[in-house]
Structures are given as structure tokens and as C-alpha cells.
Structure 1
Amino acid sequence: ILFSSISGLLGGAAQANYAAANTFHDALAHHRHTHNLPATSLAWGLWAHTSTLTADLTSVDQARIRRTGLRPLTADQALALFDAVAFGDAGLPLVVPTGLTSTAEAPPPLLRGVVRQTRRAARTASSAGSTPAAGFTGLTPEQRSAALLDLVRTEVATVLSHPHPHTIPPDRPLIELGLDSLTAV
């Protein structure tokens, strides 16, 4: 059993190296499975107990984590999930022990491909609307540029917890705003 972090799946602001190291554990477990060797990587989510790794999380960091749809696991929940993997027969190369908010109708976008949804939630998510690209049809090149800039600023403001998209300077490099390459992806 390998211990990794959900940051390998979701990324983390200014944590590209940490995320890459955790993804290596996940990939190693997958590699072993392809060769019929045992391995399971546990990509842990946040625990409720404050640790050395989480002691410096600010309220902005915690708000960013909540927006992903994740909630911290209590020690009892985390240990129960560990026991289920260690003593169960999952046979999976990757398990993501984490808590999800129960108020969300559908999982957040980054988790939609890996979280099982109820049929009602899946229908709601699929009928929620069209893609952002659909909003660009019929626009002039100048209008498309403005709409794209608004879309990017909105997404960056959301990821970085800015109060409003217009607080994101359009001419400032994203890395200077705290958005590294992994977080951008």
C-alpha cells in the first residue's frame, strides 16, 4: 500500500512538485498492476486533524479546497477507509479516500469522471447547459476575444479565490498571480 495525496489528481496551487511526486506513487501502483503484482496507492484527501502539512493553510486555502467539493476526513473515517482497502479485496491500483460535500447536486468538474453519481445527479449535470465554447458562436473576432478574456479571468478568480474576475489583471502573467502550470491544467 502506497500513500499519496489527492493533489496528484487535482493539483494544488504552487504545489506542482508535490503533486508530481504523489502521481508517481499512483503510476507505480498502476504499473505493478499491469504486471500482475500487488499494489494500491491511496491518494488521501485532507484530514480534519491539523498536521505539519496543513498547519499553514489559510482561510483562502481552505475555501479553495471546499470549492473542489472535498471535505476533511475525521481520523475515524480515514482509518475506516484504510481498513476497507487494506483488509478488503478491492484489487484496484488507485483508491481515493476522501470526503465529498453532501450539499452538491453533482460533483465538481474535476471529480465528475471519478465519482459515482446517482441517476438524478448525472441527469442534472449533463443538462446543466452547454460548454463555454458554445457561447462564442456568432460573435465577431473582437467579441470572441473579450468573451474569452472574461472566461479566463472568471476561472482564474475562482481557482485563486479572488473576489471578482475584474481583479485579475489581463496583462499579468498567471505565474505571478500564483497559478503554476499544474494548477492551470
Structure 2
Amino acid sequence: MVARHLVTRHGARNLLLVSRRGADTPDARETIAALRAEPGVRVTVAACDAADRDALAAVIAGVPADRPLTAVVHTAGVLHDAVVEAIDPGDLDRVLRPKIDAAWHLHELTAGTDLAAFVLFSSVSGVNGAAGQGSYAAGNTFLDALAQLRRSRGLPAVSLAWGPWTSTSGMTGGLTATDLRRMRDAGLLPLDAAHGLALLDAAWQRPGPALRLPLALSLPGVRRAAHEGRALPLYRELAGSAWRETTAPGTDAGPASALDRPGDGTLDQLLAGRSAQDQETALLDHVRAHAAAVLGHRDGRRVEPARTFKELGFDSLMGVELRNRLTAATGHRMPAGLLFNQPTPMAVARYLRTRIGPPADTAAGTLDEGIGRLEALLASTPADPPDLDRAVTRLRALLARCEERYATGVAAGGDVADAAAGDSGDEDVRAALRAASVDEIFSFIDQEFGTGRREHGE
């Protein structure tokens, strides 16, 4: 694509195409034939590993004197995504040789050549960092530094830190729909061919710094990422002051939660005074929302709490992204093995409660949870008169004991509970409890312990 653009847009008539497989590179023959069909265009194809200095020197030495090199465009790149612990020296070599070794050899072997341009195809991963692309990011950062070095020596150079492209290539072919969706959520849009080539022209031909970032950004996406604490400072500056504002009504803000804004007190407000169970429920909602965003879902309810992350579709890189999201959301650094040790969303929520949650309101929590379970059981039990009569009798006896214990320490407010307000009305209270209906009994529980119940017959 770039070679064709140099011919059709910039009038190049002599091309030397170098790759490890030469004309045997996939789709190369069709591309070469199309280029040679252009009037006056001569194309030379060399099979050469540019990371092999001697082999590359031989290719450059073979350039005809009447058609000297005037520009170098280095586009090579190999991806091998993996977390750092899984990268071995062989993996590192496969990624770095085409980037670092080849670019350095081109720099040294053309140092005495009167070049008009020395263009390096880098990647925004070297600027942003990218989950699972530590070796690839390092190789691209080297290209960025090489461009700076050449500039400092008065040599032409520009390093283009590309964002993703829509067209499939060696670098983008491995991106899944989920990968692209995550990029969009971060505000990074894929470039189509026309847009990418226009940015190539602008970056190559206009004066400016040695490192350029040809990107397509979505400001709403950047603002959303900044709002959630996921955007880099560079992008936060691009988003401007609007990133501090809440998303406008009707727009898609992704997973919004009190955990998305660490350090503003909302986490404590969210969890304070709640029982352990309620804290876990609130945290689980947020874990599911972030997991859904990583998976490309818009709704956290699609993430089943008890299923393992592997069953949900997570790979190691997604696990890194979720861990980073939770670190940003909570303000607490999550351990590298978070999803290994806590393999389900529910397990992560429980871990977060013990790690960052304030102390649960244990006494109130125990009562609330127990009454809630009792209420749910009554609501789901068939109305069998003998069983119901026995249950009501036991509940009335239990309430009588509770009244005796708490009559002097709980401020009550009405109906059955009014009888519990003083020490002198014990017999009246017992009589009221014995005569109370099931609704009145649950009303007493609500008033005394502050529970929000369902109707017992629902």
C-alpha cells in the first residue's frame, strides 16, 4: 500500500523492495505486477533479512549509481503479544530484530548517502504502552529514539507512531473485534487506508518534531477514558477541562460507578455503614461492569458472577487490563496474580472488600441479613396452614424475647412497637404480639431494625 502510494501520489519511479521472503511474500507478486504496470516505474525486489547487517550491506551496495537511494521507509514489524512473565529470549528476539537491528543497520549503512527522507514506522504502543506488548513497545520506542538521534546529527528522520489500521496487516491481523472495541472505548479509532495515507503525507512532508503520532481519536471516548481514570496525561490534555464533567445525557459512558473516580471519597461513601454482604454486592456490580468493558459488553449483567474469567472469555492480556482498570478505579495497586488467585468476579469482589472496604456494620449486617433471609423464605414457602401456624407461633415468641431485650434501648415508633417503648407495658406488649397478624409482626421488625422488606406474600 505504501509503495503504491509513493508511485501514484509522489511520483516515485525506482523502487527497491526488501523483505525476508522477497517476491514470495504473500500478495507480493500481485503488488509488484501492479507497480510495474505503471508507466516508467522500475521495481527491484530483494529477499533479505534487514537485521542481517552483511546481507543488507550487500543489497545497498548493489543499488545502481544512476539510481541512488534518495529515501528509506522502514515498515517492518512483528507482533508477539504476551505478558512479561511469558516472554522468553526467543520471543524477544523475533520482535526486536526486525525493528531495532534492521533500523540500526539502515541508519549506519546509509549514513554517507544523501537521503531526502528516512521514515520509520513505529507504533503508538511505544507511547501509550499496551497490555501484552512490552517487547513490541520497546522496539518501537527504539525507533522513536533513533529518529531523535539522527536529527541531532543533522540527518533526516521521522518516526511515525501509528495507531491501529482497519486494513489487515502483519500487525493488525491478530486484532479481534474485542481488541478493536476496547481501543474505541479508549478513544482510539482505527485508520482506513485513505486517512492513514493522508496522515503519512502530512507527517512526512511538513516540518515538525522527529516523533509524530498519526492517530484518529474520538474525543468522547478520550473524555470517557479520562473520566474513568484510564487516559494518559497526553490524552487528558487533549480532552481538556470537559473530561472532569459527567457525560451528557443520552451518550454512552460505558461502565459508570463510584469506583471509577478513585480518591474523591465516593468509595467510602458507597461502602460505609453497609453489611459485609451489601458491600460485596456493591463491589460485585462494579467488578462486573469493568469486566464487561474489557470483554466488549455494554452491560455488566452479561458477566456471570460465579463463572471463572477463563469461562467468560478472558485471556491473559484481558486479565492485565481488568487488573489495571481496578487499580485505577480503586486507587489501590492490584497484585499481578489477582485473577489467578481470585478466578471469578465474585471472588474478586470479596477480595476487594477485604482489601479496601471499610469495616462492615457487623451487628446490623447480621440482623439485616438474617431477617432478609427469613423474609425471602417466608415469601417462597407455600401457604400450608399447619406449617404457617407453627412459624407464626415461633415468630411471636421470638419477637416477645426481642422486645424484652431491647425495650429500654430502642426508640420505637407506632403500632405494635409503641408497646415496647416503656418498662411498664410488658404485659400489653406480649398481648399485642400474641394478637398481631403476620403483617403487623413484620412491621414491628421493620421499625425496630430498619429493614426494607418485601411483602411476605409476594
Range of TM-score over shorter length: 0.5 to 0.7
Are residue 94 (structure 1) and residue 229 (structure 2) matched? no
- 1: CA distance, partners of 2:294 / 2:207: 37
TM-score (norm. length: structure 2):
0.32
Alignment of 1:17-166 (within 5 A): 17-29=135-147, 32=149, 36-37=152-153, 39-91=157-209, 93-101=210-218, 104=221, 106=223, 108-109=225-226, 110-111=230-231, 113-115=233-235, 117=238, 122-128=240-246, 131-133=261-263, 134-137=265-268, 139=272, 146=280, 151=286, 154-161=289-296, 164=300, 166=303
TM-score (norm. length: structure 1):
0.67
Q: Which residue identity lines up with residue 267 of structure 2 in the other structure? A: F
- In the alignment, structure 2 segments of 5+ residues that lack a partner are 1-118, 247-257, 325-458
1:150 Cα deviation after fit:
5.7
SS at match of 1:42: strand
- 1: CA distance, partners of 2:225 / 2:190: 16
- 1: CA distance, partners of 2:159 / 2:190: 19
- 1: CA distance, partners of 2:198 / 2:305: 42
Count of residue pairs brought into register by the alignment:
177
- 1: CA distance, partners of 2:142 / 2:195: 25
Verify the 8 A CA contact 1:149 1:170 in the aligned structure 2.
no
SS at match of 2:143: helix
Tell me how large the CA RMSD over aligned residues is.
Answer: 4.0
- In the alignment, structure 1 segments of 5+ residues that lack a partner are none
Q: Which residue identity lines up with residue 225 of structure 2 in the other structure? A: P
Residues 108-147 of structure 1: CA deviation (Å, up to 9, x unaligned): 3355532464xxx62321233983232233537969x846
Verify the 8 A CA contact 1:11 1:182 in the aligned structure 2.
no
SS at match of 2:223: coil
Deviates more, 1:133-142 or 1:49-58: 133-142
Residues 53-73 of structure 1: CA deviation (Å, up to 9, x unaligned): 323433222212221212222
1:43 Cα deviation after fit:
1.0
Q: 1:7 to 1:169 in 2, by over 3 A?
A: farther
- 2: CA distance, partners of 1:65 / 1:152: 20
Residues 79-136 of structure 1: CA deviation (Å, up to 9, x unaligned): 2222222221112x4211011236548373355532464xxx6232123398323223
Q: Which of 1 and 2 has greater Rg?
A: 2
Q: 1:52 to 1:168 in 2, by over 3 A?
A: farther
Query: Identity over aligned residues, as a percent?
Result: 34
Q: 1:7 to 1:149 in 2, by over 3 A?
A: farther
Q: Which residue identity lines up with residue 178 of structure 1 in the other structure? A: D
1:75 Cα deviation after fit:
2.1
Instruction: Indicate the residue corresponding to 1:10 in structure 2.
Output: 128
Q: Which has the higher helix share?
A: 2
Verify the 8 A CA contact 2:222 2:231 in the aligned structure 1.
no
Verify the 8 A CA contact 1:160 1:179 in the aligned structure 2.
no
Q: 1:171 to 1:78 in 2, by over 3 A?
A: closer
